[in-house]
Amino acid sequence: MFRNIKKLNGCKVLVVDGSLSVREVIARCLHEVCEIYTVESAEPDLILMNWMLGRIPGLDACKKIQSMPSLSEIPIIFVTANTNETHQELCWDAGAIDFVGKPIVPKTLINRVKTHLRYKLQTDALKRDSFIDGLTKIYNRKFFNIEIVRLLKQYSRFKQASSMIMIDIDYFKEYKDTYGHLKGDDTLKAIAKELNDNLRRPLDLVLRYGGEEFVIVLPNTELKGASVIADKVICAVKNLNLAHSKGFSDVMTISAGISAAEGFNVCDVNTFINNADKAFYLAKENGINRSYPEFISC
């Protein structure tokens, strides 16, 4: 059936990969076969869309994009030869933020794209800042509350195990009473950095849950693997040798509770968090500087 199809060089292939080297290898392999376009991410900052596309009308494509939570905040500008009032209203109703008439006036197009890109980048920066803890510079609980729902749905869809480690600094109130709040802030920053530095996979995530509590979210990780990571960060914090005269062995330590879910049996968000919270309290009750349900000695 492919006998009469000889030339593919007019075909366009978009390669999406976070690694520059991978993108370059794929492009080199396929450059004689078809036209290759490579990008680091498939989520653009702005979309310029023709009113009339191939098989899908531009208005329908715009509505579809706007209906997808992961894409709905990408601004869309229509490029159209018809700019009468009815068509303008259809553009707005579909979710577009602007339109550019044909024939295109270059200066108008450039200025409108620049304006909307600036708005988009400013909005992204404000949103990003609202998800970052001001003291430790890692993600905060607001981000956790939003992201954990999406992550659990994703893990369940792909039948992946997932784990969460709830962490608390041992005797932190006594530490602040002894060394002061400013020293307490310095310690929170040091521990946040140590937790983050000990996560090696790009999708592993550490957040400040509140006060002296942190959370580590581990995709595609079963209980045993999460226990190894919990032990690793517990040892790493202890080895910082932060003096704590009222603490465990006169140095700062942390305790951790682990919650794990297996693929399609991923529980709801509240259960997932509550299980980690219960495990954390059991870790405290069974002796600090440890994790629960499994602890491997330093």
Active site amino acids: 212
Crossing angle for the helix pair 172-179 and 181-197, to the nearest 10 degrees: 130
CB atoms within 10 A of CB 79: 16
Question: How many Å apart are CA 131 and CA 227, to the nearest integer?
Answer: 27
Q: What are phi and psi of 270, to 5 degrees?
A: -60, -40
Strands annotated E in the chain: 12-16, 35-39, 47-50, 76-80, 98-101, 162-169, 205-210, 213-219, 243-248, 251, 254-261, 291-292
The structure tokens listed for 136 are 């430790």
- Residue with the two structure tokens 């919990």: 230
The SS3 call for residue 31 is coil
Is residue 5 within 8 A of residue 15, CB to CB? The reply is: no
Q: What is the dihedral of CA 209, 214, 217, 218, to 10 degrees?
A: 180
Q: Do 236 and 167 meet the contact criterion of CB atoms below 8 Å apart?
A: no
Residue 100 CB burial class (10 angstroms; 0-12, 13-18, ≥19): middle
Nearest alpha-carbon partner for 207 in 133, 258, 293: 133
